[in-house]
Amino acid sequence: MASKSSLNDGRAFDFASWPPKLSPEQLNELVSTASAYSLAHGLLYLPPGYPLDSPPPQAAIHAPLSLVPSPFPRDLFESAKRLQTIYNVLYSRIAMNIPFLDEVMGAEQGVGRVDDFIGELWRGWKRLRDEGKLPQPLHLGLFRSDYLLHIPGDQKPSLKQVEFNTISISFGCLAQRVAELHRYQLAATSYFDSSPYLQRDNFPPNESISGLAEGLATAHKAYVSQGGNPRSKILFVIQPGERNVFDQKWLEFELLEKHSIHVLRQTFDDLITSAKVENETLTVSSTTEISVVYYRSGYMPHEYPTPAHYTVRLILESSKAINCPTIALQLAGGKKVQEVLTRPGVVEKFLPEFSAEQIAELRGSFMDMWGLDEDSQDAVGSTETGGQGKSEPLGTTKARKEFASLVLKPQREGGGNNVYKDDIPAFLDKLPPEEREAWIAMRLIEVPQGVRGWLLRAGSVGYSSDTLSAHNAVEAEVVSELGIFGWALFGKDGEKEKIEEKEVGWLVRTKGKDSNEGGVATGFSVLDSLVLV
82 is in an annotated binding site: no
Could you give the 3-state DSSP secondary structure of residue 442?
strand
Among residues 70, 170, 208, 318, the one annotated as catalytic is 170
Among residues 252, 392, 413, 503, the one annotated as catalytic is 413
| Residue 434: how many other CB atoms lie within 10 Å | 10
Count of alpha carbons within 13 Å of 373, Cβ hemisphere only? 19
| Cβ–Cβ < 8 Å for 293, 235 | yes
299 is in an annotated binding site: yes
228 is in an annotated binding site: no
223 is in an annotated binding site: no
Among residues 4, 233, 320, 335, the one annotated as catalytic is 335
297 is in an annotated binding site: yes
| Type of residue at 164 | F
274 is in an annotated binding site: no
Instruction: Say which DSSP state 460 is in.
Output: B
What sign has the CA pseudo-torsion 99, 437, 345, 424?
A: positive
418 is in an annotated binding site: yes
Among residues 145, 163, 398, 512, the one annotated as catalytic is 163
209 is in an annotated binding site: no
Among residues 241, 414, 450, 523, the one annotated as catalytic is 414
Residues in CB range of 243: below 8 A, 6 or more apart: 45, 46, 47, 48, 50, 521
Catalytic site residue 414?
yes
Catalytic site residue 335?
yes
28 is in an annotated binding site: no
What's the rounded Cα separation, in Å, for the pair 334 and 163? 9
| Type of residue at 120 | E
Catalytic site residue 413?
yes
Residues in CB range of 266: below 8 A, 6 or more apart: 235, 236, 237, 238, 274, 275, 284
Catalytic site residue 509?
yes
243 is in an annotated binding site: yes
517 is in an annotated binding site: yes
382 is in an annotated binding site: no
414 is in an annotated binding site: yes
Instruction: Say which DSSP state 457 is in.
Output: B
What is the pairing mode between strands 263-267 and 233-238? parallel
Cα-flanking dihedrals φ and ψ of residue 386, to 5°? Answer: 80, -160
What's the rounded Cα separation, in Å, for the pair 366 and 374? 18
457 is in an annotated binding site: no
335 is in an annotated binding site: yes
Residues in CB range of 477: below 8 A, 6 or more apart: 450, 451, 452, 512, 513, 514
Among residues 113, 233, 452, 509, the one annotated as catalytic is 509
353 is in an annotated binding site: no
| Type of residue at 425 | P
88 is in an annotated binding site: no
Q: What would the 3-class secondary structure string for 478-498 be?
A: EEEEEEEEEEEEEEEECCEEE
| Cβ–Cβ < 8 Å for 219, 140 | yes
| Cβ–Cβ < 8 Å for 326, 317 | yes
Could you give the 3-state DSSP secondary structure of residue 319?
coil
202 is in an annotated binding site: no
177 is in an annotated binding site: no
497 is in an annotated binding site: no
What's the rounded Cα separation, in Å, for the pair 307 and 121? 11
520 is in an annotated binding site: yes
501 is in an annotated binding site: no
C-alpha dist (Å) from residue 10 to 5, 150, 202, 320, 425: 10, 20, 17, 56, 44
DSSP secondary structure of 173-216: HHHHHHHHHHHHHHHHHGGGG--TT-SGGGS----HHHHHHHHH
416 is in an annotated binding site: yes
Among residues 145, 165, 232, 318, the one annotated as catalytic is 165
Among residues 4, 93, 113, 144, the one annotated as catalytic is 144
DSSP secondary structure of 242-255: -TTHHHHHHHHHHH
169 is in an annotated binding site: yes
163 is in an annotated binding site: yes
521 is in an annotated binding site: yes
How far is CA 359 from its chain centroid?
Answer: 22
Catalytic site residue 409?
yes
Binding residues for Mg(2+): 163, 165, 413
Q: Residues annotated in the binding site, as ranges?
A: 144, 163, 165, 167-170, 242-244, 248, 296-299, 335, 409-418, 420, 442-445, 481, 509, 511, 517, 520-521
Give the residue numbers of the binding site for substrate: 167-170, 242-244, 248, 296-299, 509, 520-521
Catalytic sites, residue numbers: 144, 163, 165, 170, 335, 409, 413-414, 509
Q: Pick out the residues of the known binding site for ATP.
A: 144, 163, 335, 409-418, 420, 442-445, 481, 511, 517
